[in-house]
Structure 1
């Protein structure tokens, strides 16, 4: 199995950037977007798919409704209101969000419409209490320049962010409303030939253009990339929720491999001459013949009095297990699909006997289904209604496999893979919002937006270098990070050098993350408090990493608790002298042998022993003097 040749498979990639705007309020109400940890209200809803004005049901909405989930919402009056709960009509559009959208459109030279119409986009996965997302097309056209090339802008929209998924358990899905309704700008770009690194550069350049406005939110979750990816001969696959640029390259490379692999599988299916699966003739209830089966999934279903079905697929023997590239199989695609119906899994004949399904079980299934030598079969178990929906989806997916990778929506995973989410939405998901009048754009607003276009990213970096006397690399690092605003706040106190602040915010925190610690537990307030203690000389520089480590590992909830748990207290001169004298006594031979060069090794021992309890500079000075005295 060779690696996919990305340059020769007709790979195309289009980016959609979703960026939260920093307006301090939501798009259609006055609620403040605050990240909540506690919720005083809880209510539940059932959402269903409804027909559009054209009498059609959107395929993505229909798919979500087949899961029949109950949606539970958590709310806090500090960050949500009756508008968020869909118990009150939306208020007027937030003017500051409109101004930022016009500014971003102007910066991208996109043609702004004189009238903006609010639309409803059907979304019934539970992330919106209304069953739709409010969105409005602000402008079309324009471009962004990346590495000397112009990349076209398709459209710029202003819309509401969705609720935050808390957990998904069984037949219930849980969302919090603190993020619902936060204003977002969505920028859709023209597709480009699929060089993953170039796509990453596009996302980086666009992200920087948004940040120089100083009117967008920063941090994980405030900017998300949806990526539209296709290969020659396949449908467009939309990958949702890519939050980090490093993840973007991996996802494009994975999807290129997956989609081209599915294209090779479709070629093989068409060579075989597969036609179709009959829901009436090829699906069998095999519950009674699986009673003695030792598979844990089958046993569990029988105990719960669920149904077990077999599906015969003519002429497809060997296709479900065929791997054109490592881990790319039609069987895996089917397995991901059925999980969305709350079903533990599906077994295909190419992987059996396995998972407790033995030769005797296979023989009974083959007889019941009348499977011939070149036929394949699937076994699926679960609650009758959800299994029925799953079987329909499986049959549809196998038949689509003849055409190559089908158009669908997938979700990004942390390791750079993607998993099936739902079918692609159709045109019938969008319809006019009846509760909000047309929004006019005046000539004055247009000229104001043009006159406020900020300086370029390069000019902003040069300004940073000059203002804080830091080098180009550090200026780029801090500007691109989520800690830029807190960096400026800390530096405004003039108690720590900007070089040191950048080092802590960009290197120390990143290193702790690489050790598996969670930086989302460390908020701006805790970072500011730590630097205030440093400025008041209540801690030293070495203590900062210890404090952050305590908070990011959940050992402490705040800075003061971290100080207490890590026993960070400042050593007196006498205590420090005693420790350093002991270190020299224990390492006399090393000092005699290496002379003044022994300082480096002893410094490492000392820093480990007094970690966070004394300044590295003072330790170095004292140790140097003590070594010299000893040698004299």
Structure 2
């Protein structure tokens, strides 16, 4: 696709969690999988914002009529998360990390941060709102395709984590609620799907350069905003995999282009009860349910048109029905007969709905109330603009599905529990950026590939510089070990390299020792190294038993037999000496 001709406009919102304590309490940012200690149940409602009206997205959520169950722990969540206690003063470490990012991006840091409440009533925030504060404006990011504007840099709190979701209720866990987030928004200066990936990757590297960013699945989320000249701004939420960003942009451009080209006629159908036609149906999906239908004039073969890979216009309508009414989906004439609905059933429905040859129909089976609500949602979607402004959810394959309307200004109002936060950014020090670290590590003798792995794929780049004090160990070996271990504290790693530097363990045993520590939690540095005399005795036995073998073959046998008991260099020297005797 020619993105310039299509008028692509693309921008990103990057959210990354910060390490340490939560934003407005002293709880640790710990994600837990063990059983919670307690549960509470609540319902939320949409209230008017600062403008005096309720937000359209919040109203949609409230109309679902769901209740929410919140799971908590007595030792790692508190009354702040449960909205039973006022927030504590802001986490200064998290705020300093955001200020570092603002300085790197050359943004104008505000003299004060005024926290706001963003209305969210889908249950993901116990209070019904998210605390968010603007820290800086008007930054910029240099990319291979030119500069991309950074209009806002924000500090906010993360939401609850979904454990289970049903039509009637959602279960959330409070462990994620309140984790500090930095949000960076870009201007729509991104010109292609690959450019979007580059921008997201570069911003992620800047955030991780601060040393405060959390790592792992779910710690970084990218929201992608996409429009084309004949479409509309659509926000795709929750892209966690950096590699999928180009696909999300490409497929959304394709979706908007295909929707515009459908040229759909406005519809005013009557909702007809066709339950009688399916009283003796063999379709298990329709049994014991109300079945309601609508006729769609001149829409034959349109419902089956593919708008994204594997997703048709009928899927687009089904998304609305599922989200707004909580039904399982819909049936449309372009896909029938199927699902136990026979050709005779199709003819009877067309007759009852008075369908003409170019008409289509949609059926929904559920309770009467849900089915009516779902069909009204379908009709409203058909009669909207071909590409409405909306928020969509990123699917694993790069497509997207409807989530909610695009929220407006009505969702924001001032946070009255938190005083204005005065900012003094003069003493905020800039971190060393990843690119600079990589170049520095190459000067220590690391290859570019190894230096990039150490800096970008691990949290050990600072530890690497600490370990450089062990002069008897090659920097490249230290780096190789660090890129092959995960989630270990610095102390056991440092103790292991100290033992190696002092000749107490062998180089070959380092990874094994650290691997055993990660499993058992005990650091065993007693390796019982053999004396040179004993090593020579063992090598003589190997040479005597394997007469005529070349040096490499003998080295292999000796290294295997003496693994962890002697340094490889020493073994090699003795093998050479004994062969030449």
Bucket of the pairwise TM-score, normalised by the shorter protein:
0.7 to 0.9
**Alignment CA distance shift 1:365-1:482 (3 Å):** farther
2:39 counterpart of 1:16? no
The whole-number CA distance in structure 2 between the counterparts of 1:85 and 1:415 is 35
Change in Cα spacing, 1:364 to 1:29, as seen in structure 2 (3 Å) is same
C-alpha distance in structure 1 between counterparts of 2:201 and 2:173, whole Å: 30
3-state SS in 2 of match to 1:446: coil
| Conserved 8 A contact 2:507-2:567 | no
Please, which of 271, 276, 286 is the counterpart of residue 274 of structure 2? Answer: 286
> Partner of 1:125 in structure 2?
122
CA contact (8 A) 1:25 1:32 kept: yes
Separation of aligned partners in 2, 1:541 and 1:336: 56
Q: Decide whether the 8 Å contact of 2:307 with 2:313 is kept in 1.
A: no
1:26 is aligned, of 5, 14, 22, to 22
Change (3 A) 1:383 1:472: same
CA deviation profile, 1:24-46 (whole Å, cap 9, x unmatched): 22221222212223322221212
Change beyond 3 A, Cα 1:217–1:404: same
For 1:464 and 1:15, the matched residues in 2 are separated by 31
Which shifted more, 9-18 or 171-180?
171-180
By how many angstroms is 1:319 displaced? 0.3
Question: Relative to structure 1, is the Cα distance of residues 497 and 41 closer, same or farther in structure 2, using a 3 angstrom cutoff?
Answer: farther
Pairing 1:407–2:389 present: yes
Equivalent in 326, 329, 339 of residue 345 of structure 1: 329
Provide the residue aligned with 1:359 in structure 2: 343
- Tell whether 2:467 aligns with 1:479: no
Superposition map of 1:193-232 within 5 A: 193-232=190-229
Q: 2:309 touches 2:399 (CA, 8 Å); kept in 1?
A: no
d(CA) in 2 for partners of 1:248 and 1:132?
28
Deviations 1:55-78 (A, max 9, x none): 422222122223333222121233
Match of 1:435 among 417, 425, 428: 417
Match of 1:552 in 2: none
In 2, are the aligned partners of 1:118 and 1:135 still within 8 Å (CA)?
yes
Partner of 1:394: 378
Which digits, 9 at most, give the CA deviation of each residue in 1:475-532, with x for residues without a partner? 22221224336864994795976534544665x68xxxxxxxxxxxx64359967995
- 1:589-608 matches, within 5 Å, as none
Q: Are 1:147 and 2:107 matched, yes or no?
A: no
Alpha-carbon offset, residue 152 of structure 1:
0.8
Distance in 2, Cα, partners of 1:545 & 1:331? 58
Counterpart-to-counterpart distance in 1, 2:561 and 2:551? 22
Find the counterpart in structure 2 of residue 114 from structure 1: 111
**How many residues end up aligned between the 2 structures?**
565
Query: C-alpha offsets along residues 406-444 of structure 1, whole Å, 9 cap, x if unaligned?
Result: 222122233333232222212211111122222233xxx
C-alpha distance in structure 1 between counterparts of 2:123 and 2:396, whole Å: 23
Provide closer, same or farther for how the CA distance between residues 599 and 287 of structure 1 changes in structure 2, counting only shifts above 3 A: farther
**1:447–1:619: structure 2 CA closer, same or farther, 3 Å change rule?**
closer
Structure 1 residues 144 and 434, CA gap change in structure 2 (3 angstroms): same
TM-score normalised according to structure 2 size: 0.84
Shift of 1:375: 0.9
- Structure 2: how far apart are the matches of 1:486 and 1:169? 45
Structure 1 stretch 61-70 or stretch 309-318: which is displaced more? 61-70
Distance change in 2, residues 1:395/1:606 (3 Å): farther
Q: What corresponds to 1:276 in structure 2?
A: 267
Q: Distance in 1 between matches of 2:209 and 2:310?
A: 42
Distance 1:620 1:378, change over 3 A: farther
- Give SS of 1:398's match: helix
Q: Is the 8 A contact 2:468 2:475 kept in 1?
A: no
Question: Structure 1, residues 542-585: CA drift from partner, whole Å, max 9, x if none?
Answer: 9759969xxxxxxxx9613999xxxxx99x999xx99x99xx99
- Aligned residues: CA RMSD: 4.2
1:297 match: secondary structure = coil
In structure 2, relative to structure 1, the CA distance for the partners of 1:376 and 1:613 (3 Å cut) is farther
- The yes-or-no answer on 1:454 pairing with 2:431 is yes
Shift of 1:129: 0.6
Q: Could you say if the C-alpha distance between residues 431 and 357 of structure 1 is closer, same or farther in structure 2, counting changes exceeding 3 Å?
A: same
Further displaced range: 126-135 or 375-384 = 375-384
Structure 1 residues 537 and 53: CA distance shift in structure 2, 3 A: same
What's the secondary structure of 1:447's corresponding residue?
Answer: coil
Structure 2 residue matching 1:227: 3-state secondary structure: strand
Give me the whole-angstrom Cα distance separating, in 2, the residues matched to 1:285 and 1:244.
Answer: 44
| Structure 1 SS opposite 2:425 | helix
Q: Structure 1 unaligned runs (5+)?
A: 510-521, 549-556, 564-568, 586-590
Name the residue aligned to 2:33: 37
CA distance in 2, matches of 1:329, 1:45: 37
Give the C-alpha shift of residue 317 in structure 1.
Answer: 0.8
Instruction: Say which SS state the counterpart of residue 237 (structure 2) adopts.
Output: strand
Alpha-carbon offset, residue 352 of structure 1: 0.5
Higher helix share: 1
Are 2:271 and 2:372, in contact at CA under 8 Å, matched by a contact in 1? no
Work out whether residues 263 and 404 of structure 1, in 8 Å CA contact, stay in contact via their aligned partners in 2: yes
2:7 alignment partner, SS class: coil
Q: Partners in 2 of 1:72 and 1:527 — Cα distance?
A: 40
| TM-score, structure 1 normalization | 0.77
Aligned partners of 2:117, 2:206: CA distance in 1, in Å? 28
Tell me if structure 2 keeps the 8 A contact 1:526–1:558.
Answer: no
Q: Tell me, yes or no, if the aligned pair for 2:558 and 2:571 is still in contact at 8 Å.
A: no
Other structure's SS at 2:520 match: helix
Question: 1:143 Cα deviation (Å)?
Answer: 0.8
Distance 1:363 1:489 in 2: 76
Matching residue of 1:588: none
Cα gap change, 1:234/1:474 in structure 2, threshold over 3 Å: closer, same or farther?
A: same
Aligned 8 A contact 2:297 2:360 in 1: yes
> Partners of 2:333 and 2:189 in 1: how far apart?
40
Which of 302, 305, 318 is the equivalent residue of 1:335? Answer: 318
Change (3 A) 1:235 1:76: same
